[in-house]
Amino acid sequence: MNPLKKLASQTAIYGFSHIAGRMLNFLFLPLYTGVFSKSDYGVLSLLLVAVAFMNIVFTYGMETAYFRFVTKERGKNVYATAVYSLFASSLIFSCILWFFDLQIAQYFDIKNKLNFIHWFIGIIVLDTMAIIPLARLRLEGKALKYSGIKLMNVAIIIFFNLIFLLPLIPKLSHLSKYLPYEYNPEIGIGYIILANLIASGSVLLLLTPSLIKINGRFDKAVFNSMIKFGAPLLLVGMAGMINEMLDRILLKELLTGSSKIVNGQIGIYSACYKLAMIIALANTAFRQAAEPFFFKQEKENNSKNTYAKILKYYSISCLVIALLIALFLEPIANLMIHPSYHDGLRIVPILLLANILLGMYYNLSVWYKLTQKTVYGMYIAIIGAGITLGMNFLLIPTLGFYGSAIATLVCYFSMLVISYFLGKKHYPIAYPMGRITLYFIFGISLYFIESSLDFEGVLHWINKALILCTFLIAILIIERPKNSLNSA
C-alpha cells in the first residue's frame, strides 16, 4: 500500500479511538461547566495537570524506547524488560506519592479529600502498566484491537459519568431514584476521577494475558540501552508537559485574589482551552500511528520524501480544521460551555494555531529519534520550557490567562524553528516549508479579513462559509491532492 495512504488509514483507526476518548472533554464539557462551579472545575483541571506530569515520570520514555529497540534488535527480552521495569518503578513511585498524600491534597485545596489523591495514584499506576502491551498492539499493526480496547475505556467512562452525575442532569434527574447509591455533594468532582479509575482498571484487566504470559526475561543490558535512549525523552516529556499544562499551575501561583477566584479563572481558561483541543486530538491520533510508522519507513528508499509530504498534508489538514473552529467559534461555544465561561473565548484562535505548530514539531522530531540523538529533543524541549516559564511569569500578572495562551504560541513556534534547523544539519529532509508558510499566512489573513467585516443575520454566516470555502478551493487547486498521493 502507498505509505501515505497506509499512514492515513492507521491514523484514522487510531484517531477514531483517541478522538472518541478525548471527545469526552467536549461531550461532558456542557455538563461539567453547568453543574460544577468554576472554582471546582479549576481544581479538577489542576489535578489533571498533575496526573499528566506523573504519567511522564512513571513511564520515563519507555514506550518510545520499546519501539526503537524492538524494531532494531527484534529481541523478545525488550518487551519483558520494559514491562518488568515499569512494574517495579511504578510500585516505588506510587508509594512515594501515597506517603505525601496530605501535602499534595493541601496544595490542591482538597485537604479533606485524600481519597481523590489515592484514586489518581491508582489511575496513574494502571495506565502505566497498560502502556507497553498497548504499544505492542500498535507495533504489530493491530489497530482494530487497540482501538477496540480504547473505545471500551471510553464507553466505561461515559457510563459511569452518567451514572454518578445523573442526579445533576435536569432532564434526567428523576431517574436517579433507580440508582443503587445516593449522590454525595461532598464527592462532587471526585465522581469524575472515580469513573476514570474504573475505566483504567478495566483496560488493564483486558491486557492481563499480555502481562502474565511474557516470553522473555529482564535483560540488564537491554534495560541500560533503553534507559540511555529513553532518559532524555523523560526530560522531553516533562518539558513538553511544562509547555502544555504548567500554565494552570502558574496561573494558580501568579494570579491575585482568593483561592475561589483564582481557581475560577483557571476553570475558565481550562474550559476554553478544550475548544482548541480538536487540533490536539489530531496530534494525538497522528502520533499514535506515526511513531511506529516512521521507524519502519526509515528503511525505504524514498522515506525522506514521504516524511516531507506527511508534514505538508498534516499542516494543511490542521489549518482547515482550525479555520473552521475559529470562524464558527460562537455557536460552538454556545453549545459546549456554560456562558459564564465565555470570557476566555479570545484565547481559542491563539491556541488553535499553537497546537498546529506543536503537531508540526512532532513531525519534525523524526530526525533525532531516527538518528538516536534524543538528547537534542531534550535540549529543544528544555528551551521551550524556559520560554514558557519566562513568558508566563512576564505576562500573567498583566494579561492573566491571555498571557498564558500567547506564551504557548511563542513556545511552540520557537521549538518548531529550532528543530527544523537542527534537523537540516543532522538528518536533512526537503520539507516544503515555503509553501506551508504561505498557507499559514493565507489562512490567518482570511480569518482577520472575516473578523473585520460587519455582516449581520444570515449574511454573517454565509460570509464565514465563503471564507472557509475560499481557503479549501485554493488548497485543492494548488495541491491536486489525488495526483500527489498517487505519486508518493
Which tens digit of pLDDT belongs to each residue from 171-207? 766 666 777 777 788 888 888 899 999 999 999 999 9
Cα-based angle 323, 324, 330 (whole degrees, multiple of 5): 105
- Rounded to whole angstroms, how far apart are CA atoms 476 and 313? 12
pLDDT at 327: 92
Q: Whole-number mean pLDDT of the chain?
A: 83
Where on the phi/psi map is residue 74: left (φ > 0), alpha (ψ -120 to 50), or beta? left
Between 333 and 170, the higher pLDDT residue: 333
Span 76-120, pLDDT tens digits: 688 888 889 999 999 999 999 999 989 988 888 887 888 889 999
Residues in contact with 399: Cβ distance below 8 Å, sequence separation at least 6, in sequence order? 406
Question: What's the half-sphere exposure (Cβ side, CA atoms, 13 Å) at 422?
Answer: 22
- Rounded to whole angstroms, how far apart are CA atoms 140 and 328? 40
- Rounded to whole angstroms, how far apart are CA atoms 169 and 414? 44
Within 10 Å of residue 410's Cβ, how many Cβ atoms? Answer: 18
Average pLDDT over residues 134-157: 82
Residue with cell 481559542: 348
> At 458, which amino acid appears?
V
- The SS3 call for residue 48 is helix
Span 354-386, pLDDT tens digits: 989 988 998 888 788 778 787 788 788 889 889
- Rounded to whole angstroms, how far apart are CA atoms 441 and 408? 19
Instruction: Flag whether pLDDT at 483 surpasses 60.
Output: no
- Rounded to whole angstroms, how far apart are CA atoms 151 and 269? 28
At residue 71 the predicted structure's pLDDT band, cuts being 50, 70 and 90, is low
- The SS3 call for residue 456 is coil
Between 178 and 5, the higher pLDDT residue: 178
pLDDT at 300: 65
Compute the residue count for the chain: 488
Q: Per-residue b/e over 200-227, b at no fewer than 16 CB within 10 Å?
A: bebbbeebeebeeebebeebeebbebbb
Instruction: Please give the torsion angle defined by the CA atoms of residues 406, 412, 416 and 418, in that order, rounded to the nearest 10 degrees.
Output: 90
